[in-house]
Amino acid sequence: MPRLKEEIGSRDCAINYRWGGDMAECACVLIVSAALAKSFGAVVHYEDDDLLYSAEQLVEEAKAGLQSADSAPPPRLRTPPPAPKKPWWKLW
């Protein structure tokens, strides 16, 4: 990845994001990455496809991800929420 090495230059820190397939999670990662790229000149690299993204590209990808998340069915809870407990002071 010589091109990535050239883009990194003298930067000495890295942040690695991971998401689990939920498009809303993906959009969050893209939005944070865009903010870091725009505000701090971060290099955003997608290793699987060896792609470098600009802040503008990340914003567009995030918009598409949010649209996809809006059209997806809502995620199911893994466990049902706990039943409300009766207050200790109620005897009946």
Digit-coded pLDDT (tens) for 16-51: 988 887 888 999 999 999 999 999 999 999 888 889
User: Who's near 66: CB < 8 A, 6+ residues apart?
Assistant: 23, 24, 27
Structure-block tokens of residue 46: 């997608």
pTM summary value: 0.71
Confidence at residue 83, expressed as pLDDT on a 0 to 100 scale: 81
Question: What's the pLDDT score for residue 50?
Answer: 87
Summarised one tens digit per residue, pLDDT across range 46-71 is 888 889 999 999 999 999 999 988 88
Does the pLDDT value for residue 77 go beyond 70?
no
Predicted local distance difference test score (pLDDT) of residue 92:
63
